[in-house]
Amino acid sequence: MAKGEGYRVVLLASPRGYCAGVERAVEVVRAALRLFGAPVYVRKQIVHNAHVVATLAREGAIFVESEEEVPEGNVVVFSAHGVSPAVHARARARRLRVIDATCPLVMKVHAEARRFASRGYTLFLIGHAGHEEVEGTMGEAPERIKLVQSAEEALEVEAEDPKRVAYLTQTTLSQDDAEEIIAVLRRRFPSLVGPPTEDICYATQNRQDAVRLVASRSQLVLVVGSTNSSNSNRLVEVARRAGARAELVEDASAVNPAWLEGVDVVGLTSGASAPEYLVQGVLELLARAGFNRVEEIRVAEEQVSFELPAALKERALGGIAEGPAARLATGAERGVAPSEPAPAAPG
Ligand code: SF4
pLDDT in tens, 237-277: 999 999 999 999 999 999 999 999 999 999 999 999 999 99
- Residues 3-32 as b/e (b if ≥16 CB within 10 A, e otherwise) read eeeeebbbbbbbbbbbbbbbbbbbbbbbbb
- What average pLDDT score do residues 165-185 get? 96
Looking at residue 5, its pLDDT comes to 55
Q: Please give the distance, rounded to the nearest whole angstrom, from the Cα atom of residue 204 to the centre of ligand 1.
A: 7
What is the pLDDT at residue 318?
A: 66
In the predicted structure, residue 345 carries a pLDDT above the cut 90: no
Rounded to the nearest angstrom, the distance between the alpha carbon of 111 and the centre of ligand 1 is 16
Q: From the CA of 172, give the closest atom in ligand 1.
A: 5
* Atom number, ligand 1, closest to the C-alpha of residue 21: 6
Tell me whether residue 322 is one of the annotated catalytic residues: no
Tell me the best of 81, 128, 204 to mutate to test the pocket of ligand 1, counting ligand atoms within 8 Å of each CB and taking the most: 204
Q: How confident is the model at residue 333 (pLDDT cuts 50, 70, 90)?
A: very low
pLDDT above 60 (res 321): no
The average confidence (pLDDT) of the chain is 91
Q: What is the 3-state secondary structure (H, E, C) of the chain?
A: CCCCCCCCEEEEEECCCCCHHHHHHHHHHHHHHHHHCCCEEEECCCCCCHHHHHHHHHHCEEEECCHHHCCCCCEEEECCCCCCHHHHHHHHHCCCEEEECCCHHHHHHHHHHHHHHHCCCEEEEECCCCCHHHHHHHCCCCCCEEEECCHHHHHHCCCCCCCCEEEEECCCCCHHHHHHHHHHHHHHCCCCECCCCCCCCHHHHHHHHHHHHHHHCCCEEEEECCCCCHHHHHHHHHHHHCCCEEEEECCHHHCCHHHHCCCCEEEEEECCCCCHHHHHHHHHHHHHCCCCEEEEEECCCCCCCCCCCHHHHHHHHHHHHHCHHHCCCCHHHHCCCCCCCCCCCCC
Please state whether the predicted TM-score (pTM) of the whole model is above 0.75: yes
Which listed residue (133, 135, 140, 250) is catalytic? 133
**pLDDT for residue 326 is more than 90:** no
pLDDT for position 325: 32
What are the pocket residues of ligand 1 if the criterion is a CB atom closer than 6 Å to any ligand atom?
A: 19-22, 80, 103, 105-106, 171-172, 201, 203-204, 231, 272
The answer on pLDDT for 139 being more than 60 is yes
